[in-house]
Chain A
Amino acid sequence: MKIAVLIKQVPDTESKIRVKSDGSGIEETDVKYIVNPYCEYAIEEAIRTKEKIKAGEPEAPVATVVISLGPDRALEALRTALAMGIDKAIHIDSEGKIFDGFQTAKILAGVLKAGAFDLIFCGKQAIDDDNSQVAQMTAEFLDFPQVMIIQKFDLTPDSKGALVTRQVGGGAREIYEAVFPLILGCEKGLNTPRYASLPGIMKAKTKPVEKLKASAFLGDTGPLTQFIHYQLPPERAAGKKLDGEAPQQAHELARLLREEAKVI
């Protein structure tokens, strides 16, 4: 079985985001990057699936490959996945370009097609642009079935498909059975991602990292959407302190709520 994991490197949630002065993007200097948290669930599930198969059938051929499209720094995220236990990494160099979700899906689909994968895990969304589109569009390009926001995963008894559970409105759950090749988007609660261990970090160095170029898979596919401008939310205005005795304060507060806030 060949299992792929699609991951994205995103700014750490604790990083302070600054927009470039011309609004064309965010300032990357001093931003700390991490593996997108939802992608960590995907990495963990791929490793667990391999471990589970190997526990029953030690000789079964199972390969796990982590794939990321991005600049050179994306290698850091790939190395983390290798240190956690993934066997091989593919870095698709974005060659200094920014792609929209459609183009990203096109590139990933090309790489996945060449790799002939059975099972593809990815995060349900990236926490930087929150687009939640790439996995679905990639499935469409490949004509694979996809189930997103999964919280439970099991192989079918014949290992030719999977049983997955996703939560829907009102706490109800949908249970899907789907056949390989299959793309799954992972949600929090699916598992608890492991920490990379020292032996894992040491092994990561000897694992293969394949380098590909995005342009080779993109062809002449143009973007369907375009970022026009980035801007931060406006800073919150300072609060207002009311003076005087309690009755005056109450009077003033009622006036402000009616005339300024317009809520009563």
Chain B
Amino acid sequence: MDIQLLRQELNKLLHEKLEPVVESSDLNSEFPMEAYRAVAQAGFGGIFLPEEYGGGESLEGLMVVMEEMSKFSPGFALSTMASFQLFGYNIARLGTAAQKEKYLKGLTGEAKIGCWGLTEPDVGSDAIHIKTTAKKEGNDYILNGSKTFITNAPIADYFIIIANSGGSGFNSGSARQAGSAFVLEKGMKGLSVSKPFKKHGHRCSPTGQIFLDQVKVTKDHLLGSEGSAFADMKHSLELERFLIGPMVAGMLETLIEKCVSYAYNRQQFGQPILFFQLIQEKIARMRMHLEMIRAATDQGVALIKEGKPATNLATALKLYGGKAAVEMGSEAMQIHGGNGYMHEYRVEMFMRDAKLLEIGGGTNEMMLQILAKNTIKEVGKKYGVT
């Protein structure tokens, strides 16, 4: 993969198709479908999918695509990744040949939109206690329940739904072995979605609920094997955590550009405010975070490619990246002063978009808990901690 060429060509496409609609899609909470279609059909969304389905099979490429999209609109990046990573990548690694043929080609060729549903009204971080059920009836499964905060749900053509499929773990202590994933399609009887939620940020990316009322599917709709969904999920969520890296890097790059150019043109007390050290300190810290995040992302790519454990780095990067985005988004607004508070300077959009990164895909608190648990387990052994 020629990474430089990928970046250059994708940037050109986004500049022409996405850039002109970033502001209106954020203001009106509308998904920029035309831009999405262009990115999907040119194949960029499928950068990490298998080559035989039009993908690029490139992890470095995935990071670049995420970064470039996030420079323009983190919400657009989020929706595209929900479609191609959370849905597409899980189909690619867990799906049958028939599932891959149909859904992966649908994502690229027809710009179909995918989503991935785990979270429920009462179940967030405590994922294994989901209440959505999939009861086996002969060769079929009957799905019941609801999902919430699902990226792309209101506009999705394809759905992956995680449900409790019973078996040995159904309503018993071994819930961990009871999760199964199912692939559903828009239009199935009993499957419906809510309108997009009104959100703080990521407004161009529709988020909503999924309702399952006696949805009957054949065995062909099972993704992976029965009871393996929670184990399968771990790998995909780790990769998702790493994607925070390029997302925040893209956001910081845009914010740094906006801040330097604004601060140079904004005159106070007879000189550009860029020359004030208090302004420079903010820019320096943006650069510091950008460098750290880039380095950690590169390291994550290397670890994943070598098949080495990367959970701690992924978790740390998720935590660090989310916090950096929120803090720097706020500082970028500060540099822009009153103008930063206005929509048209498109700084406050990044600030609003940033907050999700501390919540979605695992809260800061969960990341801290994972890091604490792993560290105490690892280091505590020496001291007899049990």
Instruction: Say whether A associates with B.
Output: yes
Q: Which residues of A contact B (CB under 8 A)?
A: 34, 76, 79-80, 83, 195-199, 201-202, 204-205
Beyond A195-B13, A197-B41, A202-B51, 10 additional contacts (C-beta under 8 Å) are A34-B12, A76-B4, A80-B5, A195-B42, A197-B42, A198-B42, A198-B43, A201-B1, A201-B2, A202-B56
CB pair B2–A79 under 8 Å, yes or no, is: yes
Total contacts A-B at CB 8 Å: 46
Query: CA separation between A205 and B2, bound complex, in Å?
Result: 7
CB pair B8–A199 under 8 Å, yes or no, is: no
Query: CA separation between A204 and B1, bound complex, in Å?
Result: 9
B159 within 8 A of A: no
B54 within 8 A of A: yes
CB pair B43–A197 under 8 Å, yes or no, is: yes
Size category, B interface: 20 to 34
Q: Which residues of the other chain, B, contact A204 by a CB distance below 8 angstroms?
A: 2, 5
CB pair B8–A205 under 8 Å, yes or no, is: no
Query: CA separation between A197 and B42, bound complex, in Å?
Result: 4
Q: Which residues of B contact A (CB under 8 A)?
A: 1-2, 4-6, 8-9, 12-13, 38, 41-44, 46-47, 51, 54-56
Query: CA separation between A197 and B38, bound complex, in Å?
Result: 10
Query: CA separation between A34 and B12, bound complex, in Å?
Result: 10
Pick 27 A–B contacts, CB within 8 A, sort by A: A76-B5, A76-B8, A80-B5, A80-B8, A80-B9, A83-B5, A83-B9, A195-B12, A195-B42, A196-B9, A197-B41, A197-B42, A198-B6, A198-B42, A198-B47, A198-B54, A198-B55, A199-B43, A199-B54, A201-B1, A201-B2, A201-B5, A201-B9, A201-B56, A202-B51, A204-B2, A205-B1
Q: Which residues of the other chain, B, contact A79 by a CB distance below 8 angstroms?
A: 2, 5
- One of B4, B8, B46 near A198 (C-beta < 8 A): B46
Complex: chain B residue closest to A82, CB-CB: B5
CB pair B8–A202 under 8 Å, yes or no, is: no
CB pair B42–A202 under 8 Å, yes or no, is: no
Query: CA separation between A18 and B1, bound complex, in Å?
Result: 34
- Distance in Å: Cβ of A195 to nearest Cβ of chain B: 5
Query: CA separation between A102 and B119, bound complex, in Å?
Result: 68
Interface centre among B2, B51, B55 (most CB of A within 10 A): B2
Query: CA separation between A43 and B51, bound complex, in Å?
Result: 26
